[in-house]
Structure 1
């Protein structure tokens, strides 16, 4: 998730500007998705 939105576009598009807010949103969504899929059952 992080590679698709934050890493690869910045690597391939030299003048692409990604704001800290966009990075934080991507990170938050990735963590939420990971925890939803892999947390141990209650």
Structure 2
């Protein structure tokens, strides 16, 4: 395996994982900000 092939393989594995993590993180942070917004609006 050449270095280029190793990089290509690691990217192929890492990109979907990072995409899932990114979406999950965005969903969590969005939910969290929404929750604080709601709380500040009530109180």
Using the size of structure 2 for normalisation, the TM-score is 0.46
Larger Rg: 2
Using the size of structure 1 for normalisation, the TM-score is 0.47
Structure number with the higher helix fraction is: 2
Structure with bigger RCO (C-alpha 8 Å, 6+ apart): 1
